[in-house]
Copies of this chain bind each other. A is one copy, B any other.
Amino acid sequence: MKRGRGWLCLALTALAAPLAAATPNDIVAQAPASAWKAIDPHFLIMLTLEDGRQVAIQLTPRFAPIHVANIVTLVRAGWFDGAAVTRVQDNYVVQWARPDAGSQRPAALVRHPPAEYERPAAGLVFRPLGFRDSYAAETGHVDGWPVAREGGAAWLVHCYGMVGVGRDMAPDTGDGTELYAVIGQAPRHLDRNIALVGRIVEGMEWLSARPRGTGPLGFYKDEASALPIRSAKIAADLPAEQRPRFEVLDQTSPAFAQWIHARANRKDDFFVRPAGAVDVCNASTPVRRAP
């Protein structure tokens, strides 16, 4: 909403400037190498679209392990080579699947996975955000993932860019063959109703800027609108020189705490009144390509 291109990127001079004046981006840019953690390439999918553009999806096996294992199995079996983005519903989701959904699934696929929509909070290092949430008793981060916690359970939340597993009416019908990503206001009513498995860490704009479908629920009426997916690969399976290396800001680092504080209390020049709070979906953990 700033006018023109005159936005000033205030430098964070370590001693002279008060920390409060740093923007969230400044803090991320200045975070030391020790504040970054590598993303495991075994849980990183590189989707290559028809036009060669790539979308990187990080998976988390700690919340929906059977669904995630299914997706890895499907990627390795080539299920998504020849899939397409078949649905784009404004302010909601993009979804991709094989146009020939009835085709042969890999034998190793768990066809009816259990409803991995939440898990015990015990055993997770939960970093509370410290602000109210409209939906859950508490929100925060686990390994950098946006998580809600209540009554001994923890679950991933539907923030912008989060990836989940499409299913039919019955909860055990989401076998991973059809996936979606959130492209609008966090549809938190879906939390604990469907399995979230990951998030898009690069290339989100190649999906979010697709034309919206004009059929029911944003499905494309004409097959020609669907964006073909050339291939999907597990990053660890790529030759070393082609393997992308991503890092996330470690939620236990001082930089992460400073970044959350700055997100909640914007004091850079543009702001006249800091909000004093931030919701979990406005605090999506920073990711970068490893330098």
Which residues of chain A have a CB within 8 Å of any CB of chain B? 1-8, 88, 90-91, 93, 95, 97, 101, 115, 117, 131-135, 159-161, 164-169, 171, 173-174, 178, 180, 184-194, 204-205, 208-212, 215-217, 219, 263-264, 266, 269-279, 281-282
Contacts and interface: CB of A to CB of B under 8 A. Distances in A.
Chain A interface mostly: loop
Nearest to A216: B5
A4 B131 contact: no
A262 B272 CA distance: 37
A166 B134 contact: no
A161 B264 CA distance: 22
Contact of A204 (B90, B117, B204, B269): B90
Contact of A2 (B101, B217, B274, B275): B217
11 contacts: A1-B93, A2-B217, A3-B97, A117-B272, A132-B133, A184-B185, A185-B186, A189-B274, A189-B275, A192-B272, A209-B212
Given A171-B272, A273-B193, A166 B278 contact: no
Contacts of A219: 5
A4 B101 contact: yes
Nearest to A159: B185
Nearest to A268: B169
A178 B1 CA distance: 8
A211 B212 contact: no
Contact of A169 (B133, B186, B264, B269): B269
B7 A216 contact: yes
B97 A193 contact: no
A118 B20 CA distance: 25
A1 B171 contact: no
Nearest to A192: B273
A250 to B, nearest CB: 23
